[in-house]
Structures are given as structure tokens and as C-alpha cells.
Amino acid sequence: MDQNFLESQKQVLLKMREELRQKLKEKYAEAISFGTEDGQDSADEAYNLYNKNIMLGRVETDALKLNLVEQALKRIEEGTYGICIECGCDIEEKRLKQVPFARYCVDCKTELEKKGLIKM
Ligand SMILES: [Zn+2]
């Protein structure tokens, strides 16, 4: 793979990691402090719990993404970045530009998603 391309992907991933880390920190703080004020009736509580779950759901998605970004950075270091971890073929640069942390080629991703094995 082109070194320049690899380097620019690395920069994108590092930036992504920083942003995700920051976002997660804020969201966790928000979700945890949410609905802990005093003087609410049970309807408020149910509503707050509902919102809290949505928020935590979003936190989970970001945490998953952060994990994928970290894995991608590791693969850059190991020299296996851009190789589909399922079938071993090269992932198209176009796809890597769209999804810098892509682990699978389009074919494998489609197949795995169909089977419900992956979400991202
Ligand atoms: Zn593949």
C-alpha cells in the first residue's frame, strides 16, 4: 500500500480517536448525571431512565467505534492495514477513505451483516 496514503489514513484515525475519546468522556458524564436531581415523580423517572438508556446506547456505539479505530491504528503499525481480516484481500482505497477503520472488504462486510455477525 502507498506510504503516503497510509500516513494520511493514520492522521485521520488519530484525529478520530481523539474526538471519540473526548465525546465519550462528555457523554458518560452526561448520562451518569442525568436524572439524578431530587424531587422528581415516577413519570419523570421513567422518562429519565428511557433517555439515559438512549444516551448510553449512543455511548456504546461510540465506544465500539473507538475500539475499531484503535484496532486500525494497530494494524497500521503491524503493516496489515487495509487487508480484509476475513478473506485476506486488499480493501479498496475508496472504501478506506470513507471508513478509515474498515476491517472487511465490501463483499465480506455485506456477507457478515447479512448473517447478523457485525454491526459496523
Ligand atoms: Zn474480505
CATH number, domain containing residue 20? 1.20.120.910
Do the domain assignments include residue 29? yes
How far does residue 48's CA lie from ligand 1's centre (Å)? 42
Please state the rounded mean pLDDT for residues 76-89: 96
Average pLDDT in the 79-87 region? 96
For residues 112 and 48, give the distance between their C-alpha atoms in angstroms, rounded to a whole number.
35
40 inside domain: yes
Residue 57 lies in a domain: yes
| Residue 26, in any domain of the structure | yes
Q: Is residue 104 part of a domain?
A: no
Distance from the alpha carbon of residue 14 to the mean position of ligand 1, in angstroms: 24
Compute the average pLDDT of residues 58-71.
92
Domain of residue 11 covers 3-82
Q: According to the model, what pLDDT value does residue 44 have? A: 81
Are 75 and 59 contacting, i.e. CB atoms less than 8 angstroms apart? Answer: no
Q: How many angstroms separate the alpha carbon of residue 25 from the centre of ligand 1?
A: 33
- Give ion ligand 1 contacts, CB < 5 A: 84, 86-87, 105, 108
Residue 105: how many other CB atoms lie within 10 Å: 21
End-to-end CA distance of the chain, in Å? 23
d(CA 10, CA 4): 10
As for how many domains the chain has, the answer is: 1
Residue 103 in domain: no
Say if 33 falls within a structural domain.
yes
Given a cut of 80, whether residue 42 has pLDDT beyond it is: no
Q: How far is the CA of 36 from the centre of ligand 1 (A)?
A: 46
Q: What is the CB neighbour count within 10 angstroms for residue 10?
A: 16
Please check the confidence at residue 39 and state whether its pLDDT lies above 60: no
Confirm whether 36 is domain-assigned: yes
